Amino acid sequence: MDLKSKIREIENFPKEGISFKDITTLLKDRNAFSYAVNKIVDDLKDKEIDYVVGPEARGFLMGAAVAYALGVGFIPVRKPGKLPSKTTRLDYELEYGTDSLEIHSDAISQGDKIAIVDDLLATGGTVRAVAELIESLGGEIAAMEFLIELEDLNGRDKLDGYHINSLVNY
């Protein structure tokens, strides 16, 4: 399956100079969507994952599907002010701006084995923030899984020591 051919590239969105990787075209294609989810599940099968964590918003799309297919629960990480119970918060940098993320403080217990799933690895700022949130609650990051990796942005350099898997590289 040529997953790259299912991803639409939009130049200069949302800002001049950004080549936006639009996964809506892949998600709409049932064969491509299930192939991508199953590839990530294959990489996670032997890792005894307790939960998948996915960051808003596109991380929900891939993360919840992977969690369901793997047979584990899903934990959302959200932008500030969206989660209703007590939260733990962290600030982080994006390829195009800065943002903050929150997780429910009681969502993870000491020693839980976590797979972080997101649609895309760019600078690595988001996934590093998500990893820090999880680890601050006692969780262990068993894997970081991405549909897309933008290699020129060197996100992996920020993520030393973690198992990282991506399906489509630019």
Ligand X SMILES: Nc1ncnc2[nH]cnc12
Any idea which residues carry the catalytic annotation?
Answer: 58, 95
End-to-end CA distance of the chain: 17
CA-based torsion, 76, 80, 82, 87: positive or negative: positive
CB closer to ligand X, 21 vs 70: 21
* Minimal distance, residue 91 CB to ligand PRP, in Å: 12
Question: Which residue, 21 or 78, has its beta carbon nearer to ligand X?
Answer: 21
Q: Which does 59 bind (CB under 5 to 8 A by kind): ligand X, ligand PRP, none?
A: ligand PRP
108's tokens: 């993870």
- Binding residues vs ligand PRP (CB under 6 A): 55-59, 94-95, 99, 118-126, 155
Tell me how far, at minimum, the Cβ of 63 lies from ligand X, in Å. Answer: 15
b/e 14-24 (16+ beta carbons within 10 angstroms → b): eeeeeeebebe
Shortest CB 1 distance to ligand X, Å: 20
- The answer to whether the CB of 51 falls within 8 A of the CB of 108 is yes
